[in-house]
């Protein structure tokens, strides 16, 4: 072994540096929790198996090619590590292969990406510069030597043996908690970040072929599962909103903790606080979006199906699958359906998805007068967005369904000085400091929309659904967020914090309206609205349930597999009793974990297999 290393010092130098860097980045940047000795060993050595294989390929090359090969390989894998580290800072997730399809959105994402880059990131590539220098200088001590397969069987035997031991060790480890393909934290710990992409490629191939092999019988187990947990909607509220116009407002990145929050005596959401008292308001609605963020929420709201665990369903299946969306059902009842979003309609493939969701029309940047004065951050400010949208709303045939996607409160939460309606908090995080004034601006914009609806004579005959589309403050800023919220954000509180506000405002029903703490998600909005509009749920396959049902089963599963009920909280690593935050043995949460896994897997099967084409007897 010593002779082997002596003959190939440059290869082992590059490999060793990259192995150490991979371990440090995985531990520090990805904040992975490694709880057992064997798990720790597997986590440390798993990257080595991949690195040994790809670096050993260089041994077959001429010595003059080996140095460039090792350096290029080091730079490429360092870039992969860095891309994931930057992405993880805001999204607490790993880049998956389906996300490469979303690369067309990079221009729109540039503001967010530049905000995430740090000056100290140069550290990620210092070793690459050193290795480039050594590649050019070629010091004699850093030997390279060709190792033909026939004359170097012992060397390759050593490599194969080490890789085999690592792989066997990985297979012998069995975690205590249930393991799922959508639990990427576990996959990174058990496979290593490089091997993860081989697994992700396997998933990509498997899911891409699922439609071709899907059969009608695949729906049977799904229907049985849904019937098992079916809940009767609230009969007292059936049809109370029948025939009314419908307005959906997506509150970009607005989390539930901002509602009724005051900072230095100033309300963050004064209008929404007032609206809450006259609406059906739900305070325990969890963020179920996946990597598609806002588009995932749109998909959930339209279909009562979960988004995919990898990539954005708007980019993969939503444009081509046969669906049973809420908007199409409204069209059959004579509704005109439209959407407003001051971004390009190609962003997240909306120009192809919206017709399949049942939109008669949609309004993107082409429909608005956008200038530097009325834009900030991601695009058009919310107040002029609503004001200009009203010109179209007033001309719509009634009844209509209109959805609005706001933009101003999008990471990195930039505002012009004249748009501050409150003073920011003072923490060590610019993101946290900017977030609350940006939410306050969106709150003011919603007030403008309501005022304009009243002035146009449309308010009284319209149902308003307002919802936070996904989280706003990433876990990387929780230390600073604690200063604003006034309490420590541990694992339990982090999950409980992952909630978004949901308002259903029906003018004329202020007396009947109530504040509810039922546990649910945005997947529950469609069945809730179907009941309020007096529409049947029989023609739909939905994983959600009426949020206002009297016998509702409080249960929500997040896209990463975390689960909350009215009794238990399951975070993949821990099981808690919700009433007192008492940590319980993991097996106490296994029943809800199995139900959550089934829900996500069944929904994925429907999407990947395009199973809804079989629901009404249409096999085409």
Please give the radius of gyration of the chain, using alpha carbons only, rounded to the nearest integer.
27
Rounded alpha-carbon distances, angstroms, from residue 253 to 273, 377, 470: 17, 14, 5
**Structure tokens that stand for 408 in this block:** 């101003």
Is 337 marked active-site?
no
* Residue showing tokens 């290029």: 72
Residue 111: DSSP 8-state:
H
**Vertex 475, ends 445 and 280: CA angle to 5°?**
45
The answer to the question of whether 260 is labelled as a binding residue is no
94 in helix, strand or coil?
Answer: coil
Cα 329 from chain centroid?
27
Q: Is 545 known as a binding-site position?
A: no
What tokens does 319 get? 């444009």
At CA 138, angle to CA 137 and CA 143, rounded to 5? 160
Q: How far is 145 from 60, CA to CA, in rounded Å? A: 9
Query: Is 410 part of any known ligand binding site?
Result: yes
> Do 281 and 503 form a contact (C-beta atoms < 8 A)?
yes
284: helix, strand or coil: strand
From 96, 207, 294, 297, the catalytic residue: 294
Main-chain dihedrals φ then ψ at residue 501, nearest 5 degrees: -75, 150
For residue 569, give the H/E element and its range: strand 568-570
B/e letters for 347-372, b = 16+ CB within 10 Å, e = fewer, are: bbbbeebbebbbbbebbbeebbebee
Task: Please indicate if the annotation marks 423 as binding a ligand.
Answer: no
**C-alpha distances out from residue 306 to 127, 254, 384, 544, 613, Å:** 42, 20, 33, 9, 18
Q: In sequence order, which residues have a C-beta less than 8 Å from that of residue 412 and are 6 or more positions away? A: 111, 112, 115, 377, 430, 431, 434
* Three-class SS state of 248: strand
Q: Retrieve residue 231's tokens.
A: 């809940």
- Answer for the pair 212, 368: CB distance below 8 angstroms, yes or no: no
Residue 561: partners with Cβ closer than 8 Å, 6 or more residues away: 180, 182, 183, 572, 593, 596, 597, 600
How are the residues of the chain apportioned to helix, strand and coil, as percentages rounded to the nearest 5?
A: 50, 10, 35
* Half-sphere exposure in the Cβ direction for 427 (13 Å, CA): 21
Closest CA to 307 of 113, 298, 75: 298
Cα-based torsion angle of the residue sequence 121, 122, 124, 126 in order, rounded to the nearest 10 degrees: -160
Distance CA 47, CA 52 (A): 9
470 appears as a binding residue in the annotation: yes
Q: Are 350 and 403 a contacting pair, CB within 8 Å?
A: no
CB 8 within 8 A of CB 144: yes
* Residues with active-site annotation: 294
Task: List, as residue ranges, the binding site for Mn(2+).
Answer: 252, 294, 469-470
Task: List, as residue ranges, the binding site for substrate.
Answer: 410
């Amino acid at each position: 072994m010593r002779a082997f290393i002596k003959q190939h010092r440059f290869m082992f130098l590059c490999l060793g540096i990259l192995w150490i860097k991979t371990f440090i980045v995985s531990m520090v940047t990805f904040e992975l929790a490694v709880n057992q000795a064997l798990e720790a060993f597997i986590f440390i050595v798993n990257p080595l198996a991949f690195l040994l294989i790809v670096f050993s390929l260089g041994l077959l090359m001429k010595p003059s090619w080996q140095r460039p090969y090792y350096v290029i390989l080091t730079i490429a894998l360092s870039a992969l590590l860095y891309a994931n580290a930057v992405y993880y800072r805001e999204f607490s997730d790993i880049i998956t292969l389906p996300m490469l399809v979303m690369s067309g959105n990079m221009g729109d994402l540039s503001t967010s990406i530049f905000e995430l880059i740090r000056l100290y990131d140069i550290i990620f590539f210092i070793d690459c510069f050193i290795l480039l220098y050594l590649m050019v200088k070629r010091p004699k001590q850093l030997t390279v030597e060709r190792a033909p397969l026939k004359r170097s069987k012992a060397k390759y035997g050593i490599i194969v043996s080490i890789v085999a031991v690592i792989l066997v060790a990985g297979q012998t480890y069995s975690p205590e908690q249930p393991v799922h393909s959508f639990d990427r934290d576990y996959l990174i710990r058990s496979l290593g970040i490089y091997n993860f992409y081989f697994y992700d490629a396997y998933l990509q191939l498997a899911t891409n072929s699922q439609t071709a092999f899907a059969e009608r019988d695949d729906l049977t187990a799904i229907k049985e599962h849904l019937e098992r947990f079916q809940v009767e909607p609230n009969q007292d509220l059936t049809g109370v909103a029948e025939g009314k116009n419908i307005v959906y407002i997506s509150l970009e990145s607005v989390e539930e903790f901002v509602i009724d929050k005051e900072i230095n005596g100033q309300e963050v959401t004064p209008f929404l606080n007032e609206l809450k008292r006259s609406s059906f308001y739900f305070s325990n609605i969890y963020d179920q979006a996946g990597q598609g963020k806002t588009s995932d929420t749109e998909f959930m709201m339209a279909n009562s199906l979960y988004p995919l665990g990898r990539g954005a369903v708007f980019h993969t299946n939503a444009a081509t699958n046969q669906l049973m969306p809420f908007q199409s059902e409204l069209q059959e009842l004579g509704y005109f359906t439209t959407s407003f979003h001051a971004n390009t309609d190609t962003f997240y493939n909306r120009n192809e998805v919206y017709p399949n969701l049942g939109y008669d029309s949609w309004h993107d940047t082409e429909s608005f007068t956008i200038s530097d004065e009325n834009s900030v951050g991601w695009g058009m400010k919310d107040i002029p967005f609503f004001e200009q949208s009203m010109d179209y709303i007033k001309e719509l045939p009634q009844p209509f369904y209109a959805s609005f996607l706001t933009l101003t409160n999008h990471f990195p939460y930039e505002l012009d000085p004249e748009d501050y309606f409150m003073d920011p908090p003072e923490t060590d995080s610019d993101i946290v400091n900017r977030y609350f004034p940006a939410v306050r601006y969106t709150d003011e914009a919603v007030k403008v929309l309501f005022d304009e609806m009243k002035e146009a004579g449309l308010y009284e005959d319209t149902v308003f659904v307002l919802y936070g589309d996904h989280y706003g403050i990433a876990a990387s800023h929780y230390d600073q967020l604690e200063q604003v919220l006034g309490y420590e954000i541990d694992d339990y509180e982090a999950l409980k914090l992952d909630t978004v506000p949901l308002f259903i405002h029906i003018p004329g029903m202020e007396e009947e309206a109530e504040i509810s703490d039922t546990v649910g998600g945005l997947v529950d909005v469609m069945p809730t609205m179907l009941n309020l509009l007096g529409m049947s749920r029989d023609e739909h396959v939905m994983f959600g349930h009426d949020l206002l049902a009297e016998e509702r089963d409080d249960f929500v599963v997040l896209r990463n597999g975390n689960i909350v009920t009215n009794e238990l909280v399951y975070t993949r690593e821990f099981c808690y009793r919700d009433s007192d935050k008492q940590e319980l043995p993991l097996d106490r949460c296994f029943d809800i974990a199995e139900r959550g896994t089934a829900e996500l897997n069944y929904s994925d099967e429907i999407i990947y297999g395009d199973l809804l084409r079989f629901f009404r007897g249409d096999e085409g």
